[in-house]
Amino acid sequence: MKNYKDLDIYKIAYNLAIEVHKMTMQLPNVITYLKNHYFSGLKNMRPKTYISVSILFLLILLFADCKKHDPVEEDFPIYSTFEDIINPPGVFEVIYNLRTYGDVIVKIKFDTNAVWYIEKVNALSALLWIERKYTDSIAQFIINSDTIIGLEGNVFYSFCANNNNYFEDRNFFVMFTKKTIPYEDFLPKF
């Protein structure tokens, strides 16, 4: 065993967390519901009930902010950074767990030369870049919020992210969409 990510229980728990996340995306908009139902009933509550309901309300608001993107509305896979991604489909998403200090890296190898639209779905303050190893050097390409770039097939690219400049822990989603633009005529290529 190299690290905890190799444990079967860790992989099962992580996949379960992704499934729970997908299910929570199907819930109604919590903020609108609470505005319409919570505030109207406060004036008739006893103090202890009011405190309990207020704590519940604050917890719901805390987690309601996590719903910045709704991947369930689309039908595409969400990959983690724990395993290399080889020959992904034309549309997919990668989730980075930026709860630790340092770079989080996923290696992706595409099956063919293609032009890709790459977009930060949330956490725009997180740093995102691509690294490509050559025989004698490593090249980097920084993605600020989104980009369209030609990527070569059968080459491993390292897609790197970090949140070192900010104290906020977060899950960071990056969306990949293959474009129909001919690769041969397109610039920039990486």
Q: What is the pLDDT of residues 50-62, one digit of tens each?
A: 566 666 666 565 5
Q: Which pLDDT score, from 0 to 100, does residue 13 have?
A: 75
| Listed residue (106, 107, 109, 110) closest to 95, CA to CA | 106
Exposed, middle or buried, 183 (CB in 10 Å: 0-12/13-18/19+)? Answer: middle
82: pLDDT strictly greater than 70: yes
The chain-wide mean pLDDT, for the chain, equals 79
Exposed, middle or buried, 134 (CB in 10 Å: 0-12/13-18/19+)? Answer: exposed
Q: Which pLDDT score, from 0 to 100, does residue 14 have?
A: 72
72 against 130, higher pLDDT: 130
66: pLDDT strictly greater than 60: no
Q: Which residues have CB under 8 Å from 158's CB, separation 6+?
A: 105, 106, 107, 130, 131, 132, 133
Q: Which residues have CB under 8 Å from 17's CB, separation 6+?
A: none
Backbone angles phi, psi at 137, to 5 degrees: -160, 170
**pLDDT confidence tier of residue 68, bands split at 50, 70 and 90:** very low
Pairing of β 127-133 and β 146-151? unpaired
* Residue whose structure tokens are 């505030």: 39
In whole angstroms, what is the distance from residue 181 CA to residue 151 CA?
12
In whole angstroms, what is the distance from residue 12 CA to residue 179 CA?
33
**pLDDT confidence tier of residue 116, bands split at 50, 70 and 90:** very high
